[in-house]
Copies of this chain bind each other. A is one copy, B any other.
Amino acid sequence: MNEARPIRTAEILCVGTELLLGDIVNTNAAYLSARLAELGIHVYRHTVVGDNPERLSRALKAAFEEADLVITSGGLGPTYDDLTKETVAAYFGLPLELHEASLDAIRSYFTRTGRVMTKNNEKQAMMPRGAHVFPNHYGTAPSLAIANEEGTKTAIMLPGPPGELCPIFEEEILPYLKSRRTSVLVSKNIHIFGMGESAVEERLKELMTKATNPTVAPYCKEGEVRLRVTAEGDSEAEASAMCDDMIAQICRTEVGQYVYGMDVGTLEQAVILFLRSRGLTLACAESCTGGLIAKRITDIAGCSDVFLGGCVTYANEAKIRLLGVREETLARHGAVSEQTAREMARGVRERLGADIGVSATGIAGPGGGSKEKPVGTVYVGISTKDGEQVRRLSLSSMRSRDYIRIVSAGNAYDMILHCDK
């Protein structure tokens, strides 16, 4: 088969009755779309059908009317209703044959995980003649690609579970798709906190609209913006340099001062790297965030070298007992105040013997707001041996409790990253 033809358009075709029943959310389609967009491949449709070969066959035909590439997920399992491979092979007019290497891999997967292989699993090693087979180190269903003689139609079949689909895509499919290009793509991420999505877009509108190579695509979640810069060049070095030029341009604008890192993953990962590189330890004192600041830090394995612990002091009594916040402070200024945030951050730092203490106290809503301190009022504090600093947030009271808590935690992390210890 001729695999040299460039791939420009794609459709995502997900197979699984559990998707149509709403038992699971189709995260695969979003994941694959985002990755294809980065490769410059235009996805113009997602389709989900059940475990039904006739509907799958029709959907496949409809997809190839427009797309160079169809990526399927699901229907590669061992049972009788897993029929993706059979249906796609029939579309391409190819017979199925036993693929010895896949059978060996499936046998060894069962040995490794101490489970018993059934006769059914052998079906997973049957492959359309001439298929490009990719190994699966995360489950029993190998992935595969088939292309027609002319190389104008390619089908890639992936297993349904995201825990298998995503790593296989990264490790096998991405190199395969890149090998079918004559050019090289490089992507880099700029991570931004403290400037809203619309403000970032407004500021970079001209640059983003004009930019075709590199392209600049914004991704947003609560309070954070990630700009993905993707360049296409003749070599890795050339594409990388094109990205760097664009990044430098962006960083020279007002947006630059809100950049907290490049390709650092999440804000909490950036915090851990920051602390580790400086040999600093962290403790946190949380009221309205209720454990979220600590939870996100401890989501990351291996955080124990920089994170000592923290206190969730929801009740005033807990603030007094665990953190040594003074009763007078609470009586005079209230639990939601600059003074309380200050004493919480200092208290947790001193009591845990940490280099940095952070705190958050506020009104996450939907109840509990007042005229002076409406829902969305949060004080975020930081304490080091040099003293304390407190940021007052006035988030819109139309925002959800979740949003207010997430952005409060984000501000605590941001204050750590701006702490010049």
Contacts and interface: CB of A to CB of B under 8 A. Distances in A.
A298 B310 contact: no
Interface in A386-406: 398, 400-402, 405
B30 A24 contact: yes
A37 B22 CA distance: 8
A106 interface: no
Contacts of A286: 291, 294
A212 interface: no
B55 A49 contact: no
A364 B74 CA distance: 29
Contact of A298 (B23, B29, B290, B365): B290
Given A310-B291, A314-B304, A318-B309, A46 B32 contact: no
Contact of A353 (B303, B310, B317): B317
A384 interface: no
Contact of A367 (B47, B302, B366): B302
A420 interface: no
A21 interface: yes
A19 interface: yes
Nearest to A310: B312
Contacts of A322: 309, 311, 322, 351-352
Nearest to A220: B23
B321 A294 contact: no
A31 interface: yes
A37 to B, nearest CB: 5
Interface size range on A against B? 35 or more
B22 A31 contact: yes
Contacts of A31: 22
A412 to B, nearest CB: 13
Contacts of A366: 301
Contacts of A351: 321-322
A297 B301 CA distance: 23
Contact of A314 (B47, B48, B113, B298): B298
A177 to B, nearest CB: 15
A205 interface: no
A208 interface: no
A284 B405 CA distance: 19
A27 interface: yes
Interface string A22-58: 1111110111111111000001111111101001000
Nearest to A37: B21
Given A37-B21, A291-B291, A313 B309 contact: yes
Nearest to A364: B301
A65 to B, nearest CB: 10
Contacts of A21: 33-34, 37, 43, 217
A137 to B, nearest CB: 13
A315 interface: yes
A103 interface: no
B33 A20 contact: yes
A33 B293 CA distance: 34
Contacts of A292: 291, 295, 298
Contact of A312 (B49, B52, B311): B311
A57 to B, nearest CB: 13
A111 to B, nearest CB: 14
| List of 5 A-B pairs having minimum Cβ-Cβ separation, nearest first | A290-B298, A22-B34, A291-B294, A22-B33, A291-B291
20 contacts: A22-B43, A23-B30, A23-B34, A23-B219, A25-B30, A26-B29, A26-B30, A44-B52, A45-B49, A46-B46, A288-B298, A290-B295, A291-B298, A292-B295, A294-B312, A307-B314, A308-B314, A309-B318, A321-B351, A322-B322
Given A19-B46, A22-B43, A45-B48, 11 more contacts: A19-B33, A22-B37, A25-B29, A291-B312, A294-B314, A308-B318, A309-B315, A310-B312, A318-B352, A322-B322, A322-B351
